[in-house]
């Protein structure tokens, strides 16, 4: 948002979630070969004809004539030169909701009405799933059923379209390949009472938010409007003003803001709520709440809330090699962060960076992790010892142990015990653990507690 626009940053706008149709290969026409059906029929007709002439047998000639009839009835080439191009209807570009089932229509982009419609074979396969197909004519507009994931960037299906003549007696085919991807950004959950530790002021000093407020940095000079402080009327500027309205001009100042926030992400694993889906790959985890889903949602909510009040927010990949996002403010930063959150994915590599990434100095650090091992717990502890104010957001969904075999149930018990030990270690370091499933309540409670502890009236601004 530009300072001169005089309005709040538009951080309350819903994030854009949509389907993206990426053409991997443009529609092309295959070689126009002659049909083997036609060729064999012609050959046999000739053989019977020659045989009938040599043997002087009219009955054999009749058989040859019938093979000739087959050859005549078979078109030798694909009748038209049209290359079918799959085109989704406009609903594919509309806003999508995660966790739902969506039906999108598609059709051939430019069928030739003068020719007979061809058969269109649409083959689609979801990553790791079974292949399926739909056979329709190029004149139809069939539908495609899609399960929209709950969040993130996911390849929904790769499709391939081929077209044939309706009698299938044609070698020539025309095809196109593409990929349908869902890009679902997290929906923010409004958090009102945000913690702003007093220690931050000592580290970072104040910076100016892009909001109007009672700071010292001049923001703009404009006509007096309801809500403006009359003590800030600039009489000299008003005297120089040549407009006929005669409205006094007032000096507006930027509001001060103190906090910088770093959102550190642990994206090594992505576990759904149902524990059986961790070990049974046939279970569909696409529509389940997963740890990365909670990370996207919680981080997006905090980023939107902090940026809405003019603070600076950055992002850090705590256990991976993704480039960090420097703390900054504004609507563009929120869009950048939302895209990064949506693109969060489990890394295929299990190698951890040898050097622990460092949050920006003086920033409040939120560390998002499912807290499954002690190695991860040491990261926020080291940041806290370095002087950062750190809170850990526990992103593991409430485990659902339905249909879990006995041995796996025992393993889950051990895992929960490990998580309890990790949480105890963090508590011993004075690090607050906030469950992501009830993020708003826990963050507001923590913010209230910190503002009271620091004797900051209005700590939750």
User: Which span (56-64, 195-203, 245-253, 334-342) binds other proteins, by CB under 8 A?
Assistant: 56-64
* Residues 367 and 392 sit within 8 Å (Cβ to Cβ): yes
Min dist CB 81 to other proteins, Å, is 15
> Of 127 and 190, which CB lies nearer to other proteins in the complex structure?
127
* Residues 118 and 137 sit within 8 Å (Cβ to Cβ): yes
Query: CB neighbours of 41 closer than 8 A, spacing ≥ 6?
Result: 67, 68, 70, 71, 74
> Of 11 and 165, which CB lies nearer to other proteins in the complex structure?
165
> Of 7 and 282, which CB lies nearer to other proteins in the complex structure?
282
Residue numbers 156-175 binding other proteins by CB under 8 A: 156-157, 160, 162, 164-171, 173, 175
Min dist CB 288 to other proteins, Å, is 9
User: Which residues partner with 290 through β-bridges?
Assistant: 272
User: Which span (131-139, 330-338, 427-435, 453-461) binds other proteins, by CB under 8 A?
Assistant: 131-139
User: Which span (30-38, 296-304, 307-315, 388-396) binds other proteins, by CB under 8 A?
Assistant: 30-38
Name which position in 109, 134, 336, 456 contacts other proteins (CB under 8 A). Answer: 134
Residue numbers 319-348 binding other proteins by CB under 8 A: 346
CA–CA gap between residue 336 and residue 325 (Å, rounded):
9
Sign of CA dihedral 59, 61, 65, 68: positive
CA–CA gap between residue 396 and residue 399 (Å, rounded):
8
Q: Is 145 in the site for other proteins (CB under 8 A)?
A: yes
Q: DSSP of 115-181, one letter per residue?
A: SPPPEEEEEEE-TTS-EEEEEEETT---EEEEEPPSSEEEEEEEEEEEEE-TTS-----EEEEEEEE
Name which position in 109, 125, 233, 328 contacts other proteins (CB under 8 A). Answer: 125
Name which position in 414, 455, 457, 458 contacts other proteins (CB under 8 A). Answer: 414
Residue numbers 253-272 binding other proteins by CB under 8 A: 269-272
Residue numbers 206-245 binding other proteins by CB under 8 A: none
Q: Is 44 in the site for other proteins (CB under 8 A)?
A: yes
Tokens of 79: 């009748």
Residues 394, 398, 403, 404, Cα dihedral to 10°: 30
> Of 67 and 341, which CB lies nearer to other proteins in the complex structure?
67
């Amino acid at each position: 948002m530009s300072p001169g626009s005089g309005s709040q940053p538009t951080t309350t706008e819903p994030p854009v979630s949509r389907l993206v149709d990426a053409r991997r290969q443009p529609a092309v026409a295959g070689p126009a070969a002659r049909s083997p059906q036609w060729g064999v029929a012609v050959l046999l007709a000739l053989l019977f004809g020659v045989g009938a002439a040599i043997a002087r047998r009219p009955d054999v000639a009749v058989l040859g004539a019938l093979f000739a009839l087959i050859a005549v009835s078979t078109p030798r080439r694909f009748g038209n030169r049209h290359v079918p191009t799959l085109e989704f209807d406009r609903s594919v570009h509309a806003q999508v909701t995660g966790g739902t089932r969506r039906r999108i229509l598609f059709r051939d982009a430019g069928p030739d009405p003068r020719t007979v419609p061809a058969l269109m074979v649409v083959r689609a396969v979801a990553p790791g799933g079974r292949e399926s197909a739909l056979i329709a004519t190029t004149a139809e507009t069939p539908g495609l059923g899609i399960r929209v994931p709950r969040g993130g960037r996911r390849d929904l299906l790769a499709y391939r379209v081929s077209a044939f003549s309706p009698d299938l007696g044609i070698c020539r085919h025309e095809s196109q390949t593409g990929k349908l991807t869902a890009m679902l950004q997290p929906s923010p959950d409004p958090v009102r009472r945000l913690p702003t530790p007093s220690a931050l002021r000592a580290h970072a000093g104040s910076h100016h938010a892009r909001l109007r407020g009672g700071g010292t940095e001049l923001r703009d000079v404009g006509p007096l409007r309801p809500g403006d402080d009359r003590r800030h009327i600039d009489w000299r500027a008003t005297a120089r003003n040549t407009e006929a309205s005669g409205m006094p001009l007032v000096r507006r100042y930027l509001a001060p803001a103190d906090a910088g926030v770093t959102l550190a992400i642990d994206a090594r694993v992505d576990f759904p709520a149902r524990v059986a889906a961790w070990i049974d790959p046939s279970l569909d985890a696409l529509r389940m709440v997963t740890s990365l889903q909670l990370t996207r949602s919680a981080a997006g909510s905090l980023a939107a809330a902090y940026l809405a009040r003019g603070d600076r927010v950055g992002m850090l990949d705590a256990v991976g090699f993704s480039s960090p996002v420097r703390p900054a403010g504004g609507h563009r930063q929120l869009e950048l962060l939302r895209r990064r959150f949506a693109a969060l994915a489990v890394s295929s590599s299990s190698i951890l960076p040898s050097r622990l990434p460092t949050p920006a100095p003086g920033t409040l650090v939120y560390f998002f992790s499912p807290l499954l091992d002690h190695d991860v717990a040491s990261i926020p502890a080291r940041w806290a010892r370095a002087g950062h104010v750190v809170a850990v957001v526990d992103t593991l969904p409430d485990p659902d142990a339905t249909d879990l075999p006995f041995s796996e149930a025992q393993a889950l018990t051990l895992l929960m015990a490990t998580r309890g030990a990790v949480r105890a270690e963090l508590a011993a370091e004075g690090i607050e653990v906030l469950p992501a499933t009830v993020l708003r309540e826990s963050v507001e409670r923590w913010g209230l507690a910190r503002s009271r502890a620091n004797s900051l009236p209005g700590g939750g601004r």
